[in-house]
Copies of this chain bind each other. A is one copy, B any other.
Amino acid sequence: MDNQTTTETNITQIIIGQAISAWDAQNKAVSKFFEGENLDRINEVIAPGKNRIGYILGHLIAVNDAMLPILGLGEKIYPEMLEFIRKPDKELENIPSGADLLQRWDEVNARLSDNFNQMTPADWLERHTRVSEEDFAKEPHRNKLNILLNRTGHTAYHVGQLALAKPAGNK
Give Cα A16–Cα B8 distance, bound, in whole angstroms: 13
Return the chain B residue nearest A146 by Cβ.
Answer: B18
How many copies of this kind of chain does the complex include? 2
Give Cα A108–Cα B14 distance, bound, in whole angstroms: 28
A89 to chain B, nearest CB (A): 13
Interface size, chain A (Cβ < 8 Å):
46
Quick one: given A160-B159, A160-B160, are A141 and B17 in contact (CB under 8 Å)? yes
A residues apposed to B, CB below 8 Å: 1-2, 4-5, 8-9, 11-12, 14-19, 21-22, 25-26, 46-50, 121-122, 124-125, 140-141, 143, 145-146, 149-150, 152-154, 156-161, 163-164, 168
